[in-house]
Structure 1
């Protein structure tokens, strides 16, 4: 039994590595695809003719070196191994490849391994693998662009509700529905209170949707532990960036990555364990 569990988890980890490689594409390309879509819509509204360029989506064109344009060969795109074989450099121009690429692959592989080890090769294990992949993509996209695309947050929200309805998670459907509603409305209220007091926007609507999705996956009871963990992590990282002069222009730090981190913490250790970590 243990051998079978180990094999299933190892297979899940390998699939996670492969998906992590694809997530790197999603993290880089999806925001650019959305920008192109918004530009086309603005041109249409203003009566201007949209400028059509080369096809650009998650599949086309093939991955290339951003420095020299070298097309990545299949054997240069094997998760983690290719990075090690190439010694972290482009095979054509020797410009360093960001360490984040293998880290995303390793993180996704580790999360998939844990999900299958914990829940087995079951529908429950698979849906939590899907949750993990979506959370990883959202965290890095938001960190890079301060965007949490509806293309991921809304399917993640509905997937959580559907998983609860089909009893693929331990969260009752009623708790998932209230979690989604309370997650969205709580941050929406904080947003407007902060804006009325300061005249500034403290977060984006994508944060509301991500928190609603976490409420759907974990239930309304998990919302307080998750927001506490996200706030603590965000405060620590924000202070560290301030003292290291790492804050971007405007002095802001996107909140989505910390919500994502708290969500993954809740998945691995359980929402209530977060309260113990923060001393409650």
Structure 2
């Protein structure tokens, strides 16, 4: 057994292709789990918020008292088991194989034939591809593991924000603290990451305060918020991960892309300009690009500027 593990470890460390393929497979599996997170975590938070409101306001004000039968059943990322939302048939392990199960089932529930949203295999596929790209970029290093965690978190944040206009603290705040903690670890010279503690702390503060200030100014003029506080926290997390130096690159990429998409939606779909568009997905995409090619993009920019 030890010989087998030793041979496997040697293969992963000596062959970039083997390492990349293994992270592709792992990414597909993680993508399947992220589908659970994307669906359940917002519902879990809504339950928590209702209970907190009930505790603060009192049952007579917030909602009628519950009987034992009315109390919600346990609901988290583990229980209950995944099931078809229409017929309630539980999803077996074989029906949970990323992408393959979707193709084998022809995109429908095995029991009632209700269509399975295409989003599920798309999330699995995207997570797998992004994981493989990160593995190829950073190789068999400890920072690759951190970059994978960041990538998976950004996938979940993107889809949740598209669905519910929420960037949950349960994901953004751990990313922020992880970025700050990594800044005390020695930098890998070949990548220039993680950044030093000085750049990380300034980046976290600048990331949060910059968007917070812009939003406050907008609110004074328009009498409403222009973005959510989750955007501030995600931007602060990027400042902690990449330092204050890359914040301008990230915000320019995200703002330009967001504006282009918003204009396209108004022109081609007649979308009302008063309907808000989630900014989190554009911010997440820009942050991931900064992770992968931030230094190269900044060097290109300064070269052309000079």
TM-score of the superposition, structure 1-length normalised? 0.93
1:160 pairs, out of 179, 186, 193, with 179
Range moving further from structure 2, 153-162 or 90-99:
90-99
Q: Give 1:232-271 correspondences, 5 Å limit.
A: 232-245=256-269, 247=271, 250-270=274-294
Q: Per-residue deviation at 1:237?
A: 1.4
Aligned to 1:4: 15
Superposed CA RMSD in Å reads: 2.1
Residue 37 (str. 1) matches residue 61 (str. 2) = no
SS in 2 for 1:165: coil
Aligned to 1:125: 144
Range moving further from structure 2, 1-10 or 35-44:
1-10
Q: Per-residue deviation at 1:249?
A: 9.8
Conserved? CA contact 1:225–1:272, under 8 Å: no
Distance (whole Å) between structure 2 residues aligned to residue 193 and residue 130 of structure 1: 34
Aligned to 1:84: 103
- Detail structure 1 runs of 4+ shifted over 4 Å in the superposition: 246-250, 274-277
Aligned to 2:238: 214
Distance (whole Å) between structure 2 residues aligned to residue 124 and residue 272 of structure 1: 18
Q: Per-residue deviation at 1:32?
A: 0.5
Q: Give 1:1-280 correspondences, 5 Å limit.
A: 4-48=15-59, 49=65, 52-167=71-186, 169-245=193-269, 247=271, 250-270=274-294, 273=297
**Cα 1:36/1:96, change in 2 over 3 Å:** same
Distance (whole Å) between structure 1 residues aligned to residue 148 and residue 80 of structure 2: 27
Q: How many residues align?
A: 279
**Cα 1:144/1:271, change in 2 over 3 Å:** farther
Structure 2 spans left out of the alignment, 5+ residues: 1-10, 60-64, 188-192
Distance (whole Å) between structure 1 residues aligned to residue 298 and residue 167 of structure 2: 24
Larger Rg: 2
